[in-house]
Amino acid sequence: MGFVFSLETLLRIAREKLDLLREEFTLIKGLLDREEKTLKELENIRSLHLKKFSALKKDPLEAQELLIFENYLTLLREKIRSQKGKILEIKENLEAKKGELIHASMRMKLLEKAKEKELLNYKVSQRHKESKGLDQWAQRSKKGLKED
């Protein structure tokens, strides 16, 4: 019978968990990148409209138009604030996932080291058995030669 690692099931599960955590981390990172891009776009739109607003103040405008434009800018500011909140939440999730990933990686390394150690012990045991078998064979051969 060959080498069988006693914790092989745990090692397999640890590998699968690590792979899943890596995928989740990548997905969260992708979401963060998209949300940061959206924030940048909102900030650019707001900046562009603020410049237009400054130019519009110089021209005579009806109070209604000015109010609509100001409400639009307020709405953009609120969207930006909301987007920043989303990004902060995603960053917290990303950090938590990173911690889980590090923990799972360390667990995986410990299990792999345990497997290496168990394999080394198995090889030593096998060599010892082979050596013992060869010694017994040599003794039988020696007895057989003496009888002749």
CB 91 within 8 A of CB 31: no
With CA atoms as reference, report the closest residue to 88 among 26, 24, 139, 39: 39
> What is the per-residue pLDDT for 50?
85
Measure the CA–CA gap between 61 and 36, rounded to whole angstroms. Answer: 35
Q: 1: helix, coil or strand? A: coil
DSSP 117: H
The answer to whether the predicted template modeling score (pTM) of the entire model surpasses 0.75 is: no
10-residue mean pLDDT profile of the chain (148 residues): values are 81 94 98 98 93 72 79 94 98 98 96 92 90 82 67
Which pLDDT does position 39 carry in this prediction?
Answer: 97
